[in-house]
Amino acid sequence: DAKTTQPPSMDCAEGRAANLPCNHSTISGNEYVYWYRQIHSQGPQYIIHGLKNNETNEMASLIITEDRKSSTLILPHATLRDTAVYYCIVRGRTTSGTYKYIFGTGTRLKVLA
Amino acid sequence: EAQVTQNPRYLITVTGKKLTVTCSQNMNHEYMSWYRQDPGLGLRQIYYSMNVEVTDKGDVPEGYKVSRKEKRNFPLILESPSPNQTSLYFCASSLSLATSGTYEQYFGPGTRLTVT
């Protein structure tokens, strides 16, 4: 199964862009990269996903390197409410051939006032 | 409102006393899953279900049982809870993961279980 590696913690000033990196060097050609976040101990919340092209939605942008070995989640104007743990996830396959999410330990982002 | 609900949200129990944590979703999702979250270990999958009457083990299934008799419900059963099952549990659902679809998972609010 492809694994992801993220820095354990990051700080970002309020109003600035938060750039959260993720390494997934063992990713397969058809595996998507997903990003979720978890605020306090609430259920994780979906942010964005991508395969090889850069993606943008109302929450964030996802930049995937050309070799797909790493990606960066960008929160363009971080607010205090963006303080959370951010998970970079690759979908792997179960032994029965279906897909499953593989969560790492995430990056704890702290947005500073 | 589309949502995944779990009950109870908090539970303190004693070793060996059987318990069930319920999970229900109102989005007609085929796929449902249970995770546990422990400090420093992230989320680990316990069991998942591709559809009604179809369940399979995740990464940490020991000590747990599940059933999927109806599409909307996916209860997690601890037949004989032990202290090492003290954890934060999340139920999640999505459209089918059987194919290469890119469906997001919706998570419930979590159940904090303490086994003494």
Q: In Å, how far is A40's CA from the nearest CA of chain B?
A: 11
Q: Determine the pLDDT at residue A14.
A: 97
Residues of A in contact with B108 (CB under 8 A): 43
Q: Kindly give the pairing relationship between strand A107-112 and strand A84-93.
A: antiparallel
Please report the pLDDT score of residue B99 as a whole number.
55
A82: helix, strand or coil:
helix
Residue B62 has pLDDT above 80, yes or no: yes
User: Each residue of B3-56: pLDDT tens digit?
Assistant: 999 999 999 999 999 999 999 999 999 999 999 999 888 899 999 998 999 999
Backbone angles phi and psi of A82, in degrees to 5: -85, -5
Would you state the pLDDT for residue B100? Answer: 52
Residue B42's pLDDT is what? Answer: 84
Give the whole-number percent of chain B exceeding pLDDT 70.
94
B4-7 sheet: strands from edge to edge: B4-7, B19-25, B76-78, B65-66
Average pLDDT over all residues of chain B = 92
pLDDT of residue B34: 97
A3 pLDDT tier (thresholds 50, 70, 90): confident
Secondary structure class of B85 (helix, strand, coil)? helix
Minimum-distance CB partner of B109 among A30, A43, A103:
A43
Tens digit of each residue's pLDDT (9 = 90 or more) over A11-47: 999 999 999 999 998 888 778 899 999 999 899 999 9
pLDDT of B101 > 80? The answer is no
- Residue B45: which of B108, B89, B98 has the closest Cα? B89
How many CB atoms neighbour CB B25 within 10 A? 22
List C-alpha distances in Å: A17 to A79, B49, B84, B108.
Answer: 9, 38, 40, 29
Q: What are the structure tokens assigned to B50, written together?
A: 């591709």
Rounded CA-CA distance A70/A65 in Å is 6
Does residue A94 have a pLDDT over 80?
Answer: no
Kindly list the residues from chain A whose CB atom is less than 8 angstroms away from the CB atom of residue B35.
103
pLDDT score for A25: 87
Tokens matching residue A26: 């063992």
**pLDDT category, B102, cuts 50, 70, 90?**
low
Q: Which of A42, A103, A105 sits opposite B40 (nearest CB)?
A: A105
Residue B109: closest CA among chain A residues belongs to which residue? A43
| CA-based max dimension of chain B | 42
Q: Identify any residues that bridge with A10 across adjacent strands, giving them in sequence order.
A: A109
| Nearest alpha carbon to residue B54 among B65, B69, B43 | B69
Q: Are A94 and A5 in contact, with CB atoms under 8 Å apart?
A: no
Only one residue has tokens 């979590």, namely B110
Residue type, A78: A
* Tokens matching residue A68: 């797909």
Q: Provide the shortest C-alpha distance from residue A79 to chain B (in Å).
A: 23
Amino acid B97: pLDDT: 61
Place A109 in a pLDDT band, splitting at 50, 70 and 90. very high
Which residues of A lie inside 8 Å of B (Cβ-Cβ)? 30, 32, 34, 36, 41-46, 49, 51, 87, 91, 94, 96, 98-101, 103-106
